[in-house]
Chains A and B, each alone.
Chain A
Amino acid sequence: MDLARILPLLLGLVWLAPLASFGLIVFFGPRMGRHGRGAGFVATGAIGLGFVLSALALGAWLWEHPLGGHGHEAGSHAPAIAPLAGDWYTLGQFGALRLTVGYYIDALTVAMFAMVTLVATCIHVYSFGYMHDELHEVSDPLAPLSTGQPLRRPGRFCRFYQYLSLFCFSMLGLVIAGNVLMVFVFWELVGICSYLLIGFYRERRSASNAANKAFIVNRVGDFGMIVGLMALWGGLGTLAFGDTVDAGGRRRPGIFSQVRPASTHHALVVPDGFVRSAAADQVAEIFRSASNPAEAEARLRAAIDRWRSAGWGYGLLVIAGLGIFCGCVGKSAQFPLHVWLPDAMEGPTPVSALIHAATMVAAGVYLVGRFYPVFTPEVLVVIALVGCITLFLAATIALVATDIKRVLAYSTVSQLGYMMFALGIGGWLAGLFHLLTHAFFKALLFLCAGSVIHATGTNEMPEMGGLRRKMPWTAWTMLVGCLAIAGAGIPFVIGLSGYYSKDAILAQAYLFRQANPRLGWLFYVAAGGAALTAYYMFRLWFMTFAGQPRDAHRFEHAHESPPVMYVPLVVLAAAAVVLGWPVFGVTELLEQARPAGTAEGAIGAVLLPAVALPAEHLSHAPEVHGPATWIAMFTALAGFGVAVVFYGLRVLDPQDVRRTLAPVYDFLWHKWYFDELYQACFVRPALALARLAAAIDRTIIDGIADGLARLVRLASVADDWLDRLFVDGLVNRIAQWTYGMGVALRAVQTGQLRQYVMFLGAGTVALFVLVSFLWSLALPGP
Chain B
Amino acid sequence: MNLLAQPVGLVHYLVVGAVLFACGVVCMAAKRNALGVLMGIELVLNGANVNFVALGSRFLRADSGSALGLDGQAMALFVIVLAAAEAAVALAIALNYYNTHATIDVDEADQLKG
Contacts and interface: CB of A to CB of B under 8 A. Distances in A.
Given A751-B109, A753-B37, A753-B109, A745 B114 contact: yes
- Determine the interface band of chain A, counting residues with CB < 8 A from chain B: 10 to 19
Interface string B76-114: 000000000000000000000000000000110111111
A746 B106 CA distance: 20
B110 A752 contact: yes
Interface stretch (A393-401, A551-559, A754-762): A754-762
Interface string A735-753: 0000000000111111111
A754 B112 contact: no
Chain A interface, >50% SS class: helix
Given A761-B25, A761-B29, A750 B106 contact: no
Contacts of B31: 754
Interface string B9-48: 0000000000000000100111110000100000000000
A757 B25 contact: yes
Contacts of A758: 29
A757 B112 contact: no
Contacts of A754: 28-32, 37, 106-107
A757 B110 contact: no
Contacts of B32: 754
A105 B111 CA distance: 109
A758 B30 CA distance: 9
B113 A750 contact: yes
Contacts of B28: 754, 757
Interface centre among B30, B111, B114 (most CB of A within 10 A): B114
Contacts of A747: 114
A747 B30 CA distance: 21
A752 B107 CA distance: 6
A760 B44 CA distance: 13
Nearest to A746: B114
A273 B111 CA distance: 111
Contacts of B109: 751, 753
Interface in A573-630: none
A753 B107 CA distance: 7
Contacts of B112: 749, 751
A751 B105 CA distance: 13
B26 to A, nearest CB: 8
Q: Which of B30, B37, B113 has the most CB of A within 10 A?
A: B113
A754 B31 CA distance: 8
A575 B31 CA distance: 132
B90 to A, nearest CB: 12
Contacts of B29: 754, 757-758, 761
Nearest to A754: B29
A508 B43 CA distance: 146
Contact of B114 (A748, A753, A757, A761): A748
A749 B114 CA distance: 5
Nearest to B41: A757
Contacts of A750: 110, 113-114
Nearest to A742: B114
Contacts of B37: 753-754, 757
B42 to A, nearest CB: 14
A753 B113 contact: no
Interface in A348-373: none
B14 to A, nearest CB: 15
Interface of A: 745-754, 757-758, 760-761
Given A752-B113, A757-B28, A761-B29, 11 more contacts: A750-B110, A751-B109, A751-B111, A753-B106, A753-B109, A754-B28, A754-B30, A754-B32, A754-B107, A757-B37, A760-B25
23 contacts: A745-B114, A748-B114, A750-B114, A751-B109, A751-B110, A751-B112, A751-B113, A751-B114, A752-B110, A753-B106, A753-B107, A753-B109, A754-B28, A754-B29, A754-B30, A754-B31, A754-B32, A754-B37, A754-B106, A757-B28, A757-B37, A760-B25, A761-B29
- List the 10 shortest-distance A-B pairs measured between CB atoms, nearest first: A751-B113, A749-B114, A751-B110, A746-B114, A753-B106, A757-B29, A757-B28, A761-B25, A751-B112, A750-B113
